[in-house]
Amino acid sequence: MSENSAFVKAKQYVESHLHDSGAQRKGTVGPCITISREAGSGSGLIAEKLIQFLKPLSKNPDAAWALFDKNLIERVLEDHHLPQQIAKFLSEEKKPFLTQTMNEILGIHPPMMKLYHKTTETILHLAHIGNCIIIGQGANIITASLKNAYHIRLVAPLEFRIKNVQEFYGNTKAEAVEFVKKEDANRNAFIKDHFNRNAEDQLLYHSILNTGNFSLDEVAKILAESVRIKFPKFYAE
């Protein structure tokens, strides 16, 4: 799925649910699934397949679902009327402290904590709508107290992840190794810096799955069944 098409689907999802708040009033909001992942473990493809497996199981198979990954950044900008130029500052990539400070002093972008606060607001709004998957951004920690949240951690052997990155992005092995190491470090630092938690803490998740042991379909089926068991009121037996 292209980033543009994912964003269009995400917008349609939000608009359709916000125009029909009946489910929220009746307390039948669907699950919010969060995915924390090691780089190259296949989170994007698995999330798309997970939605495909969950929809037919739902008591309301026509309900709109959406996946929020990179398009979540666009949603934050739209929610809070922020200029497109600051989108890069909302990523999980760690920024040098001096660079952040100077940019804020010079007015290049709003204070980072303000941006992350708005990201948190957006994630909570999406979680309360339900029937969504949110990848990264500490969404599992942000939504930890919500009864409709289900938290997943995807891991895999290093060589498996390096190979996935090579195939997906067309990188050389050296480039893929650098990518995986940098992404893992950035994501772990993001969770530590903003939530003072360890992304590898097993107690933060309902399910932890080694994607190197299964096909993409098998991973999605396992997770779909786990979500169905956790939230039986949403799914047919």
The residues of the chain scoring below 50 in pLDDT are 23-25, 85-86, 89-90, 95, 97-109
Which pLDDT does position 225 carry in this prediction? Answer: 94
Cβ 212 vs Cβ 18: under 8 Å = no
CA 89, 137, 35, 147 dihedral sign is: negative
Which pLDDT does position 108 carry in this prediction? Answer: 46
Q: Minimal CA–CA distance to 41: which of 211, 229, 234, 232?
A: 211
Please tell me the CATH superfamily of domain 3-15+30-229, with its number.
Answer: P-loop containing nucleotide triphosphate hydrolases (3.40.50.300)
Question: Residue 210: CB partners within 8 Å, gap ≥ 6?
Answer: 155, 156, 157
Which pLDDT does position 61 carry in this prediction? Answer: 75
Question: Residue holding tokens 């920690």?
Answer: 141
Which pLDDT does position 122 carry in this prediction? Answer: 82
Which pLDDT does position 100 carry in this prediction? Answer: 44
Q: Would the pTM count as exceeding 0.75?
A: yes
Which pLDDT does position 223 carry in this prediction? Answer: 97
Helix (H, G, I), strand (E, B) or coil at 5: helix
